[in-house]
């Protein structure tokens, strides 16, 4: 019987002509990152242990919000850091913790605590948190906690 190996799933990112620039940009932001291969056509890199491939494929396809990269942050300082770095040189803020970087790739910068407070069995708590999120651009842990605890200042 043939042995079946565990497949590795690698996100493959299509850029027009600036894949190498994107690889350098992303690996400069994430501390646990490395460039595996930098090549004018296809580059390979890792961010936080996740491998990616980047292609200079031409202008036929653009990134959309249909796919985003989800960054889980333990502290507000991490949220602030990734938010600012990914917006550098032309990125655009969106709502509810979403942004697009200068290459048009969508990111969600999300505090780790959000999963915990949104899954509370008390639906009123999670609804207050959701209403709070809907008013935010960059997510703020303090405001999310206030909403969860039903404090008036959210």
Give pLDDT tens digits along the chain (154 positions).
667 777 789 999 999 999 999 999 999 999 999 999 999 999 999 999 999 999 999 999 999 999 999 999 999 999 999 999 999 999 999 999 999 999 999 999 999 999 999 998 999 999 999 999 999 999 999 999 999 998 655 4
Residues 44 and 82 grouped into a single domain: no
Q: Does this model's pTM top 0.85?
A: yes
Q: What 3-state class would DSSP assign to 144? A: helix
Domain that holds residue 40: 9-58
Residues 74 and 44 grouped into a single domain: no
Report the pLDDT value the prediction gives residue 4, as an integer from 0 to 100: 73
Angle at 148 between CA 147 and CA 151, to 5 degrees: 50
Q: What 3-state class would DSSP assign to 86? A: helix
> How many structural domains compose the chain?
2
CATH of residue 31: 3.10.180.10
Report the pLDDT value the prediction gives residue 7, as an integer from 0 to 100: 73
Say if 3 falls within a structural domain.
Answer: no
Residues 93 and 130 grouped into a single domain: yes
Contact present, 4 and 11 (Cβ < 8 Å): no
């Amino acid at each position: 019987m043939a042995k079946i190996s565990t497949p590795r799933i690698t996100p493959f990112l299509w850029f027009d002509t600036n894949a190498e620039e994107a690889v350098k940009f992303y690996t400069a932001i994430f501390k646990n990152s490395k460039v595996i291969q930098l090549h004018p056509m296809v580059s390979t890199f890792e961010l936080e242990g996740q491998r990616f491939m980047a292609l200079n494929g031409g202008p036929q396809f653009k990134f959309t919000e249909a796919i985003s990269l989800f960054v889980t942050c333990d502290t507000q300082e991490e949220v602030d850091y990734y938010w600012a770095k990914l917006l550098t040189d032309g990125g655009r803020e969106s709502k509810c913790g979403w942004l697009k970087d200068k290459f048009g790739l969508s990111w969600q910068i999300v505090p780790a605590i959000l999963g915990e407070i949104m899954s509370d069995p008390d639906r009123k708590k999670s609804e207050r948190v959701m209403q709070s999120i809907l008013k935010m651009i960059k997510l703020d842990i303090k405001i999310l906690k206030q909403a969860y605890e039903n404090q008036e200042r959210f």
